[in-house]
Amino acid sequence: MPAPRVRFCPAPSGWLHVGGARTALYNWLHARGNGGAFVFRIEDTDAARATDESMRGMVASLRFLGLDWDEGPEVGGPHGPYRQSERGDLYAAVTAKLLQAGAVYDAYETAEELAAQRAEAERERRPPGYAGGHRGLTDEQREAFRREGRRPVLRVRTPDEGSVTFDDAVRGPVTFEWSSIADFVIERADGTHTYFLANAVDDLAMGINFIARGEDLLSATPRQLLLYTLLLRDGVLDDALADNGYPARPADAVPPAFAHLPLLVGEDRKPLSKRHGSVAVDEFRRQGFLPEVLVNFLALCGWSYDATTERFTVDELVERFSFDRVGRNPALFDTAKLRSLNGDRIKELTDAELAERLQPYLVEAGLLSNPATPADQALLLGFAPLLRERIQTLAEAVPLIAFAFRDEVTYDDRAVAKHLKDRAGEVLDRAAGALADVAWDGDAILATFRALAAELGVGLGKAMQPVRVAVTGTDVSPPLPETLALLDRATVVGRVRSAGARLAQAPDTV
């Protein structure tokens, strides 16, 4: 097997979503695991949809996931440019030659006419594809259409009979009848080029020899294959490359082989899209999913190693991934499973690593300055072991420890109503006194609460919950004794006293 040259070629409209990321990952793993190259190409042939912002987002998300590219935007490479919007001259040269060779023809129907034809075919229950109406136009007819002001598109003449079979790396041999494949457009009336053309030209020109992509493109493959043979016949592509100053195709280049990946679907079994909420990689980043976990999970969306192993480092994935273990049925993107894996990974982080990864999220929430003060960093580090067991995403840490980074406590009404009542005033009063001179460490503080509970003849919970609410504002927090020990004694005692005082003045409205 020659060293794989693979590519990831998103259309830059919208954010990189997890489906696209999975496609990128499988290609990347294949390249990295087999000494190949990963090419990143921007397919912005549809000017109406492509945006620079989207392209920057794609770059950022790929970087976040750690999927580095050998050729492409920002890193360059020998087969550039890597944005299709900058390769229009090449495509035009190619289509001119194809037209000359008679492989494609000009068709003059307007978009409206084609829509009407489709609707009619639909009504009559005929296949809705282009029926080839302008296949055999005479020069006079062409002239007439042009005089009407019509601009033609260029369509590829597909074979009328026979079939095409290709060996898909995940599905095995797949066969299509040519009769079911309509003549398709490669050059628009405005002179720009469609996905089929640009994609086929660039894959060949850049020496791409393996393509992993979504199953939604499976039925586009015959058209791709047709284009490869047309492009390679009589040196059409090679001449166009040379004529326009593009580097020649790599010497050992061959038309690519394909692997069609099972679709990623949402809870409703529909293909993943914005309607499923957060499907953008960047959104998962914001929620505090770790990139290595996202990579691990994405790898598992359609691939498995064996019956039991499901946690992999990126290096292990590079070593073990192969297309022969990619499944064929659609995979549901299960965020519950993702959360679980993320929680598992967080538990493996050292205190320092966790604190460091948490920091941006606290900054984002306005709890830390940027950069954080040494005191705040130390406090965060202290919380790391307490947080580790109780968060599944980094962002979940924020509400759990916000109280420690604010001067004022924000009281949760429900927690107050539930715990600052009955004997809570007495508990707070005695606790404030006891905390004022206990040794300031978790064990000693816990012992103090036990003693207090025994003294008052109440359960430990009754003794601690009011204090938890007084200090943190809520009834859910990291373990209380250790938490208190991380804060200043003065702060703790102050909060307990003031909660107690307000309770005494106005029960129910602390």
Within 400-429, which residues bind RNA (CB under 7 A)?
none
DSSP letter for each residue of 15-30: PPBHHHHHHHHHHHHH
By C-beta, is 304 or 373 nearer to RNA?
304
Which has the closest alpha carbon to 404: 483, 474, 310, 489? 483
**Interaction of residue 288 with RNA, rule CB under 7 A:** no
Burial class (CB in 10 A: 0-12, 13-18, 19+), 82: buried
Return the number of the residue (190 or 370) whose C-beta is nearest RNA.
190
Contact residue for RNA among 189, 254, 318, 501 (CB under 7 A)? 189
Which one of the spans 133-141, 247-255, 302-310, 491-499 is the region binding RNA (CB under 7 A)? Answer: 302-310
* Least distance CB 325 / RNA (angstroms): 6
- Could you tell me which stretch among 56-64, 89-97, 214-222, 288-296 binds RNA (CB under 7 A)? 214-222
- Tell me which residues in 367-396 interact with RNA (CB under 7 A): 389-391
Query: Residue 251 Cβ, how far from RNA at the closest point, in Å?
Result: 27
Q: Which two tokens stand for residue 336?
A: 């519950």
Q: Are 435 and 484 in contact (CB under 8 A)?
A: yes
Burial 449-481 (b: 16+ CB within 10 A, else e): beebbeeeeeeeebbbbbbbbbbbbbbebbbbb
Q: Is 215 in the site for RNA (CB under 7 A)?
A: yes
Report the candidate in 474, 473, 482 with the shortest Cα–Cα distance to residue 445: 482
Residue from 68, 86, 89, 177 binding RNA (CB under 7 A)? 177
Helices and strands (DSSP H and E) totals, the chain: 21, 11
Query: How far apart (Å, rounded) are the C-alpha atoms in residues 225 and 228?
Result: 5
Give the binding range for RNA (CB under 7 A) out of 6-14, 30-38, 67-75, 279-287. Answer: 6-14
- In Å, how far are 19, 123, 313, 372 from 261, measured between CA atoms? 10, 33, 22, 44
Minimum CB–partner distance for residue 333 and RNA (Å): 8
Least distance to RNA, CB of residue 169, Å: 12
Query: Could you tell me the sign of the dihedral formed by the alpha carbons of 266, 338, 259, 199, in that order?
Result: positive
**Could you give the dihedral angle defined by the CA atoms of residues 23, 27, 33 and 35, in that order, rounded to the nearest 10 degrees?**
-170
Q: How far is the CB of 220 from RNA (least distance, A)?
A: 5
Closer residue to RNA (CB): 7 or 497: 7
Burial of 420 (0-12, 13-18, 19+ CB in 10 A): buried
Q: Which residue in the set 129, 132, 360, 494 belongs to the binding site for RNA (CB under 7 A)?
A: 129
Q: Which amino acid is at 240?
A: A
Stretch that binds RNA, among 72-80, 169-177, 275-283, 374-382 (CB under 7 A): 169-177
Helix, strand, coil in percent for the chain, rounding step 5: 50, 10, 35
Active site residue 347: no
Smallest separation (angstroms) from RNA to the CB of 460: 4
Stretch that binds RNA, among 138-146, 184-192, 226-234, 285-293 (CB under 7 A): 184-192
**Does residue number 159 form part of the binding site for RNA (CB under 7 A)?**
no
Closest approach, Cβ 359 to RNA, in A, equals: 21
Is the backbone peptide bond immediately before 81 cis, with ω within 30 degrees of 0?
yes
Per-residue interface string for the shown chain with RNA, residues 74-113, x marking contact by CB under 7 A: -----------------------------------xxx--
Q: Which is nearer to RNA, 131 or 363 (CB)?
A: 131
Number of residues that bind RNA (CB under 7 A): 87
Q: Collect all residues with Cβ–Cβ distance below 8 Å to 403 and sequence separation of at least 6.
A: 409, 410, 471, 472, 473, 474, 477
Cβ pair 201, 231 in contact under 8 A? yes
Contact set for RNA, span 262-281 (CB under 7 A): 262-263, 269-271
* Binding string, residues 303-332; x marks residues near RNA by CB under 7 A: -x-xxx-x--------------x-xxxxxx
> Which tokens go with 261?
């990946």
Give the nearest distance from C-beta 268 to RNA in angstroms. 9
Q: How far apart are CA 212 and CA 416, in angstroms?
A: 56
Choose, by CB under 7 A, the member of 243, 334, 356, 412 that binds RNA: 334
Active-site pick, 270, 274, 421, 462: 274
Q: In the set 206, 464, 487, 510, which binds RNA (CB under 7 A)?
A: 464
Catalytic residue positions, numbered: 274
